[in-house]
Amino acid sequence: MLSASEALKLLVAIISCHANRQRRDAVRETWLTLLPEGTPHFFFVGAGDTVLEPDVLLTPAEDTRGGTAQKALFAYRHALANYTFDWMFRVDDDTFVVPERIHTLFWDAKAEMIGGDCMSELSWSTGGAGLLFTRRLVEVMVKRGIWEGCSDADDGWACACARDAGAEFYWTPRLRHEGDLRPHPHNDMVTGHYVSPEEMHVLHDRFHSVRASTHP
């Protein structure tokens, strides 16, 4: 496991859509503010003519659930061409993240993909909980591309590519897809999914108030 002091070259890629400006603002105002200084991030959306915020990547794919794999493919190409990173953290715009806990997920030096709780029951991990990929695995995904008939959106595509590449990966219940459990100062959860913008601020304030009282 990495220590909190070890440098982790992380890139955060957040899937969104044109209609979700309120969600993006909530993410920017909460957990994104706690990423280590210099950590690159961007949101990515599908095609459209809406004027977007500076940290939003416009892709040529459909701005629909059916277009998420193509959106992700374009975003990953963009990431490889424009950023230096060891790991990519792909997450939804309605997921709350505790950034200072991310490093605790890296307990296996051989792992190239870390998925969430759904992987215990399914053969793939849902992206809503948060997915972590090594740069090498992102390169494999971009080279492989989307195959005809791919029906599991970008998360199923990612897991299939990991298997094809012989990548070692594992799942953790601390990346939580279901909406029944949230990160809290008194548990070790790293993400919580299906979080509204209002709840995003509530969760952020809960952690912030604990920090403020513990570290005056």
Residue 2 belongs to a domain? no
pLDDT, mean over the chain = 85
For residue 153, pLDDT beyond 80: no
Residue 72 belongs to a domain? yes
Residue 4 belongs to a domain? no
- Asked if residue 61 lies in contact with residue 67, where contact means CB atoms within 8 angstroms, the answer is yes
pTM for this predicted structure:
0.88
Each residue's pLDDT tens digit, 94-147 = 999 999 999 999 877 788 888 887 655 545 556 678 989 999 999 998 998 876
Q: Could you give the C-alpha distances from 213 to 168, 201, 205, 216, in angstroms and in order?
A: 41, 18, 12, 6
**If phi over 0 gives left and psi between -120 and 50 gives alpha, with beta otherwise, what is residue 73?**
alpha
Residue 1 belongs to a domain? no
Residue 58 belongs to a domain? yes
Residue 5 belongs to a domain? no
Run of H or E residues at 60: none
Residue 172 belongs to a domain? yes
Each residue's pLDDT tens digit, 175-206 = 988 888 899 999 999 999 999 999 999 999 99
pLDDT for position 212: 45
Looking at the structure of the chain, the number of domains it has is 1
Query: pLDDT over 70 for what percent of the chain?
Result: 86
Query: What is the span of the domain harbouring residue 102?
Result: 10-214
pLDDT for position 188: 95
- Asked if residue 133 lies in contact with residue 202, where contact means CB atoms within 8 angstroms, the answer is no
Residue 39 belongs to a domain? yes
Closest to 59 measured CA to CA, from 68, 148, 89: 68
CATH assignment at residue 114: 3.90.550.50
Each residue's pLDDT tens digit, 35-72 = 998 999 999 999 988 889 999 999 999 898 778 888 99
